[in-house]
Amino acid sequence: MDTCQQVVAVIPRDKEASVAPQRQRRSILSSFVMDAEDRARKLCERAAASQDPDELDESLAQLNALLHEHIARLQAMIEQRRLRVDLERLLGKSA
């Protein structure tokens, strides 16, 4: 597996988007994931083909930023999910 494939493999795909009850939110997530995957692949290809050290540095910096953004979005999604589960538990106990 080359470096580009390793980087893209870090970005999960949402395979349940078409059958989930929360279809709209998941389709937005799917489009984000696909956009991130496409951008990561293009940045990897650009970095691999680069002959100019400055262009390579720029491609890698953009890839780094993309991965950090992706991680931040995933962390926010996890936190929202935790809050929703906590709220559901509280409402279920008070009923």
Token pair 């494939």 is found at 5
Residue pLDDT, tens place only, 62-91: 999 999 998 998 899 899 999 999 888 888
Query: Is the confidence at residue 23, as pLDDT, over 60?
Result: no
**Domain segments of the chain: what residues?**
3-94
Give the pLDDT of residue 41: 92
CA 56 vs CA 65, 73, 78: distances in Å: 14, 26, 33
Q: Which two tokens stand for residue 21?
A: 């009850």
